[in-house]
Amino acid sequence: MNWTVITQSLPQFVAGFGITLKLSVIGILGALLVGAIISLVQYFRIPGLRQLATVYIEISRNTPLLVQLFFIFYGLPGLGVKLSATVSGVFGLIFLGGSYMAEAFTGGYNAISKSQIESGRALGLTDLQLARYVVLPQGLTASVPALAANVIFLIKETSIFTVIAIPELTNTALDLIGLYYNSNEYLFELVVAYAIILIPLSLALTWLERRVRYASFGN
């Protein structure tokens, strides 16, 4: 292990780190938003939109992110939509993550027992009130573990951005290896960089899961 190699390449890795982090945050927030909307469309069985949501989820979950990115970056320009690599990457991540987040939310709503829903109905609550005061608050809490798993999953998926030459962490490492052949050092830095993001985040999410569970259900 050559420490000079590491210190010299550090600025590039810091830059790549920043890009991975930034695209992850935007992509995950976008995926949460899309997922929440899709899950509500399905929960309320909104005619038309519901079928559309099913088609989207099937496509999103059953095609690799790599292919989705190629389509957005290389395919869409043919249809007159030309997006930068970065924007393509974010859209790709949202396209992929939206369906995973939707299923996580839906799984949470479905975890609410039939008898909870019936006792809400027996009080005269409308479907909307039932959703707002009974199903969604409990369902969101129940979906936190699955949402958290998706957050980690999506961050790892950003490594695929390298195929459309977004200079995020993986791309930075592969570029440097291609130029200078010091693969040990660069791969070491790559692993450390991902670990710096993912390990604390993973711990924080576990903490959040526990907190949310207690916060909404009393002590």
Partner 1 sequence: MAEELLRVEHLKKSYQSKEVLHDINFAIHKGEVVALLGSSGSGKSTLIRTLNGLEDYQGGTITFAGETVHPSKATWLALRQRIGMVFQSYDLFPNLSVLDNILLGPLKVQHRSRAEAEEDARKLLASVNLADYADRYPRQLSGGQKQRIAIVRALALHPEMMLFDEVTASLDPEMVRGVLDIMTDLAKRDMTMIVVTHEMNFAREVADRVLFLSDGEILEDRQTAEFFAHPATKRAQEFLASMEF
Q: By the criterion CB under 8 A, which residues form the site for partner 1? A: 113, 115-116, 118-126, 129, 133-134, 137-138, 141, 216-219
What is the Rg, in whole angstroms, of the alpha carbon atoms belonging to the chain?
21
The C-alpha atoms of residue 88 and residue 74 are separated, in whole angstroms, by 10
Residues in the chain: 219
Nearer to partner 1 among residue 110 and residue 216 (C-beta): 216
Nearer to partner 1 among residue 57 and residue 112 (C-beta): 112
Quote the least distance from Cβ 113 to partner 1, whole Å: 8
Give the rounded distance of the alpha carbon of 212 from its chain centre: 20
Quote the least distance from Cβ 40 to partner 1, whole Å: 18
Question: What value, to the nearest 5°, has the Cα angle with vertex 48 and ends 47 and 49?
Answer: 95
Quote the least distance from Cβ 141 to partner 1, whole Å: 7
Angle between helices 49-61 and 3-43 (to 10 degrees): 150
Beta-sheet strands, E only, within the chain: none
Nearer to partner 1 among residue 51 and residue 216 (C-beta): 216
Nearer to partner 1 among residue 133 and residue 180 (C-beta): 133
Quote the least distance from Cβ 142 to partner 1, whole Å: 10
Nearer to partner 1 among residue 142 and residue 176 (C-beta): 142
Task: Tell whether the torsion through CA atoms of 168, 156, 89 and 175 is positive or negative.
Answer: positive
Quote the least distance from Cβ 191 to partner 1, whole Å: 41
Give the rounded distance of the alpha carbon of 161 from its chain centre: 14
